[in-house]
Amino acid sequence: MFTGIVECTGRVLERTPVEKGARYAIEIPFAAELSLGDSVAVNGCCLTVDRIEGTRVEFDLLTQTMRVTSLGTLFPGSVCNLERAMSSNGRFGGHLVMGHVDTTGSVVSVTPTGQDHMVRIRIPQEYLRYTIDKGSICIDGISLTIAAVHADSAELEFWITPHTWQRTIMHTYSPGTVVDIEVDMIAKYVEKMFRNN
SS3 for the chain is CECCCCCEEEEEEEEEEECCEEEEEEECCCHHHCCCCCEEEECCEEEEEEEEECCEEEEEEEHHHHHHCCHHHCCCCCEEEEEECCCCCCCCCCCCECCCCCEEEEEEEEEEECCEEEEEEECCHHHHHHCCCCCEEEECCEEEECCEEECCCCEEEEEECHHHHHHCHHHHCCCCCEEEEECCHHHHHHHHHHHCC
53, 84, 115 - which closes a domain: 84
The share of the chain scoring above pLDDT 90, in percent, equals: 82
Return the CATH number at 48: 2.40.30.20
Domain of 186, in residue numbers: 103-195
pLDDT digits (tens, 9 = 90+) for 3-47: 899 999 999 999 999 988 899 999 999 999 999 999 999 999 999
pLDDT digits (tens, 9 = 90+) for 113-140: 999 999 999 999 999 999 999 999 999 9
**92 assigned to some structural domain:** no
Q: Are residues 169 and 107 in the same domain?
A: yes
Q: Are residues 113 and 190 in the same domain?
A: yes
Q: Are residues 78 and 107 in the same domain?
A: no
Mean pLDDT calculated for residue range 153-165: 97
Mean pLDDT calculated for residue range 166-176: 97
Predicted confidence (pLDDT) at residue 52 exceeds the cutoff of 90: yes
Q: Are residues 127 and 54 in the same domain?
A: no
Domains in the chain, number:
2
Predicted confidence (pLDDT) at residue 197 exceeds the cutoff of 70: no
Quick one: 6 exposed, middle or buried, by C-beta within 10 A (0-12, 13-18, 19+)? Answer: buried
pLDDT at residue 19, as a whole number: 86
21, 55, 84 - which closes a domain: 84
pLDDT digits (tens, 9 = 90+) for 64-100: 898 899 999 999 999 999 999 987 666 667 788 999 9
Rg (CA), the chain: 17
**Cβ atoms of 169 and 78 closer than 8 Å:** no
Q: Are residues 70 and 110 in the same domain?
A: no
**Cβ atoms of 146 and 136 closer than 8 Å:** yes
**18 assigned to some structural domain:** yes
Nearest to 119 by CA among 137, 100, 102: 137
Q: Are residues 69 and 116 in the same domain?
A: no
Residues 51 and 155: their CA atoms lie apart, in Å, by: 39
